[in-house]
Structure formats: C-alpha cells, structure tokens
C-alpha cells in the first residue's frame, strides 16, 4: 500500500512539474493562450524547413506573454560562433534564460556538427543561460550507436543543467536506463519525455505542416511512435506513468518533471494533464 501511495505521489509531482513542447506554427501562440496558463514552461522546436528564426520569434513572443519559453538551439542549424553570439544576445535581451540544445537534423551543418560543439562555445561565451537542457536516449537513436550516445551524454554533462529523455514506450527500458545513467555518475536532473494524447489524423496533419522533406524524415524516424500513439487502446500516458513511477520514486533517480511532446495538440494535452492531476490528487 505504501509503495502504491508513493508511486501516486510521484505521478502527481511529475505532472505538477510538466512542460510542453510545441512546433512554431502560425496558430500555436493563440492556442497556448487559450488553453495553457501563463507562467507555464513551453519549449519551442527547431526544424530546417522553418528555419531557426521561427523558433526564436515564437520564443520571444511567448516570453512577452508571460510563459517560460525554452527555444531549441539545434546545433547543426547555427552557422558559426558569430551567429551563436548574436542569438545569445537576442534571447537574453528578451529575458530568456533557458535553452534546449539538440544536435538537430540539418543535412549540411555549419560550424557545429553536434550539440557538444555548440555547448562548448556557449561556455566560451560566458554561459549566458542559467538552464541548458540536453537529450538522453533510453532506446537506440535511429542514426547514432548506443556507445556514442552514452559517451556524448557523459561529455555534455559539464555544460548542461538537465537531461530530457527522448520518447520511449517501455517503462522497464526507461527505468533501467535512468539507473544506468546514475551509476555512471551523471547526476543532472531528468525531465521524462512522454507524448500527450494525440489523434491520428491531427498527428499526420501536424507532420505535413513542418515541411514535406522534414515530414518525411520525421515520419520515417518515428514510425513506431505513430503506430503506438494511433493504435486503439494503445499507449496512454497514464498507464505509462503508473508503471514507471515506482522505479522513479527514489530521490537518487533525480526525475524532477515531465517534458510532454504535444505535437501541437495543446488543448487535448492540457486537458489530459489537468484531469489526471485531479484524479491522482484525490488519492494521495
């Protein structure tokens, strides 16, 4: 009974400390304002098809509205240290003190072939951001070997403040991965990446909005993701959290919140989180 109560309390804590990931489309600002309270943390993705300007512009506007915006600074999309310095000055002047640094998918990178190279230059620029997130991979990356992803996280730990786990649908895989990460001495807090509730037709529509070439790449990299999300009675965030919470309840696991991939289905995601929080809070 105690273990069940502890797991429920962990789920409540994770849901209370949740942030939303969105794509920078024309209508997403209005959607967020309608369904998500200001003060919420919202991360803004970057894609080669839209360019980094869309990410920076939306992040600035969301900050002005009162959100805690987290722009994705995709390393392969930034030309060189001069452009990086300009981006840092622009964001800090806008009051943005947190960023997320993935490698990105640009086919022809500039000076930064990966996230580590950009993180090193952020340090040279005086660490302008108080919060810097990096990606963790509980499962294999589609194009990078497991040995390299493990080594990469170890190398990046000196420059980052937290890790965001990529999507996985296997609670056991996730729990083992977090345990191995802690045993290797990586002590950065973790934000657990999970998908929000997504309707198949809206998901496919969202994919087309990020650009034809980009959509093809996105879909090919996430075939399993879409299959699990779209299957009747398939993956649900509630079941996943119920299964993984017992293993993540221990303080030494350092799991501090959720990073919810909304695929811009913000209304459904916000409602799901709110309703689940109400249900769980009644049990604690």
User: 19-23, 121-125, 165-169: which has the minimum mean pLDDT?
Assistant: 165-169
Torsional class of 18: left (φ above 0), alpha (ψ -120 to 50), beta (otherwise): beta
Q: Which residues pair with 71 in a beta bridge?
A: 44
Distance, in Å, from the CA atom of 245 to the CA atom of 14, rounded to the nearest integer, reads: 9
222 assigned to some structural domain: yes
> How many distinct structural domains can be found in the chain?
1
Q: Answer for the pair 260, 22: CB distance below 8 angstroms, yes or no.
A: no
Q: What is the mean pLDDT of residues 234-245?
A: 80
Domain annotation covers residue 29: yes
- Specify the pLDDT at position 5: 80
Nearest residue to 156 (alpha-carbon basis) of 137, 177, 180, 179: 137
CATH number at residue 89: 3.20.20.220
Which range, 30-44, 152-166, 244-258, has the best average confidence (pLDDT)? 30-44
pLDDT, position 232 = 54
Q: Name the pLDDT band for 281 (thresholds 50, 70, 90).
A: confident
Question: Cβ(119)–Cβ(132) under 8 Å?
Answer: yes
Q: Residue 122: what pLDDT?
A: 98
Instruction: Supply the pLDDT for residue 190.
Output: 96
Residue 284 lies in a domain: no
Q: Is the model's pLDDT at 238 over the cut of 90?
A: no
Q: Which domain holds residue 157?
A: 2-277
The pLDDT, as a whole number, for residue 107 is 77
Instruction: Answer whether 22's CB lies under 8 Å from 42's CB.
Output: yes
Backbone angles phi, psi at 227, to 5 degrees: -60, -45
Please state, in angstroms and as integers, the Cα–Cα distance from residue 78 to each residue in 23, 30, 172, following that order: 18, 28, 36
Task: List, for residues 201-224, the tens digit of each pLDDT value.
Answer: 665 565 555 443 444 455 455 556
Report yes or no on 283 lying in a domain: no
pTM over 0.85: yes
Locate 126 and state its tokens: 């005086």
Model confidence pLDDT, tens digit, residues 105-122 = 777 889 999 999 999 999
- Picking from 105, 145, 136, 99, the residue whose alpha carbon sits closest to that of residue 119 is 99
């Amino acid at each position: 009974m105690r273990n069940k109560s502890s797991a429920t309390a962990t789920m409540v804590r994770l849901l209370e400390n949740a942030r939303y990931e969105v794509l920078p489309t024309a209508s997403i600002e209005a959607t967020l304002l309608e369904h998500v309270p200001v003060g919420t943390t919202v991360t803004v993705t970057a894609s080669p098809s839209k360019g980094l300007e869309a990410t920076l512009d939306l992040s600035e506007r969301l900050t002005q509205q009162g959100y805690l915006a987290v722009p994705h600074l995709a390393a392969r999309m930034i030309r060189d240290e001069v452009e990086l310095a300009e981006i840092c000055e622009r964001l800090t002047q806008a009051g943005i003190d947190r960023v997320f640094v993935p490698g990105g998918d640009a086919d022809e990178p500039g000076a930064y072939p990966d996230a580590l190279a950009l993180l090193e230059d952020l340090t040279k620029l005086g660490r302008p951001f108080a919060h810097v997130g990096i990606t963790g991979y509980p499962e294999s990356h589609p194009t990078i070997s497991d040995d390299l992803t493990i080594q990469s996280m170890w190398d990046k730990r000196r420059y980052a403040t937290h890790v965001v786990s990529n999507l996985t649908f296997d609670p056991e895989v996730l729990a083992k991965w977090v345990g191995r990460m802690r045993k290797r001495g990586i002590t950065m807090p973790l934000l657990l990446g999970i998908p929000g509730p997504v309707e198949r037709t809206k998901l496919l529509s969202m994919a087309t909005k990020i650009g034809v070439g980009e959509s093809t790449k996105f879909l090919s990299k996430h075939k399993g993701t879409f299959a699990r999300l779209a299957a009747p009675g398939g993956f649900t965030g509630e079941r996943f959290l119920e299964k993984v919470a017992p293993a993540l309840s221990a303080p030494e696991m350092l799991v501090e919140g959720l990073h919810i991939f909304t695929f811009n289905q913000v209304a459904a995601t916000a409602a799901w989180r709110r309703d689940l929080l109400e249900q769980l809070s009644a049990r604690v």
